[in-house]
Structure 1
Amino acid sequence: MTEPSELVEQQGVGIPDALQRLWTPHRMAYIKGENKPDDDASEGCPFCKVVEMDDEAGLIIARGESVYALLNLYPYNPGHLMVVPYRHVALYPDLTVAETLELAEFTQRAMTVARDVSAPHGFNIGMNQGVIAGAGIAAHLHQHVVPRWGGDANFMPVIGHTKVLPQLLAETRNLLAEAWRKT
């Protein structure tokens, strides 16, 4: 490997650095915002579309009366799921009392199921309200439930800029869905 002090400027492509690159062109759809709704309209909303799919194809773990749980297609960690209202609503205060209650119940159950399946040491729970707050799909409210383990943010994402997911999403979905039915 070339030492950083030995790197020279390349014509037209920038200055090389000591970081290795793992190219992930499939993520360009996410970066470009493809399939993200631009406004309050539900046309084109992936959270509105996914409920029309069968559970396995849509990575849906469980369905309730007013909310459902599904795996995040772009997970931060293994088992990263979301609880989403069926109704296309952008902001938490706009939920009905019934939607708020079921969203909270599904969040609790998601934590219980994740503990049973993969024994995380902790969780990050939250929602980003609005694009400026980091919401990838701001037009349709969704709450993240992210299992965490000691050392899960080790050198790979910090130095290698790479996430390691030990299981395919379909396999994770099947384990969580089966455990959900048993709780």
Structure 2
Amino acid sequence: MIKELVVLILFALGLSLSESKSTFLQPQAAKSFNLSYIQNVRSCSYTVVLTTSCSSPRYTRDQISIAFGDAYGNQIYAPRLDDPSSKTFEQCSSDTFQIDGPCAYQICYVYLYRTGPDGWKPESVKIYGYNSRAVSFYYDAYIPSDIWYGFNLCNSASSSHQLSNQKWFLYVILAFVLTALLY
């Protein structure tokens, strides 16, 4: 009876751990996003790959802007990425941009801004920077008009990673205790 109970508890713990890892972050409207933090210091180059969803309109005439940065206030801003003559942001496509701006550390936030009549649904944004590893943000959502919309993981990234490690450690200790009770 005790062995079955231990197996059931370990199964439940494994299920709760797998469910906690399967949650996805959704893009959000920026409540207090401010472009005035842009610094004019040493310049670095960034490669930004914007992938448009296959469920987006075939093309868009909308004006698309991007802002991204790190947790230390280094912000990179590109006011207009769109160019209807070059077929940017077409359905099921990826567009690559070279953007210069202040040198940042690990990129932890990105916001997109869209204005226009057509609508646009990005699938993802991938940013390669000089001082940071490549980072991907998965949108798969229509960008609302006339509002900065995206992700800010600057404050939550390290704390959620630390919590995840603490959770794993707790599960390992619990598994050892339950195994010891069995024998």
TM-score, scaled relative to structure 1: 0.22
- Of Structure 1 and Structure 2, the greater helix share is in 1
Structure 1 or 2, whichever has the larger Rg, is 2
- Of Structure 1 and Structure 2, the greater strand share is in 2
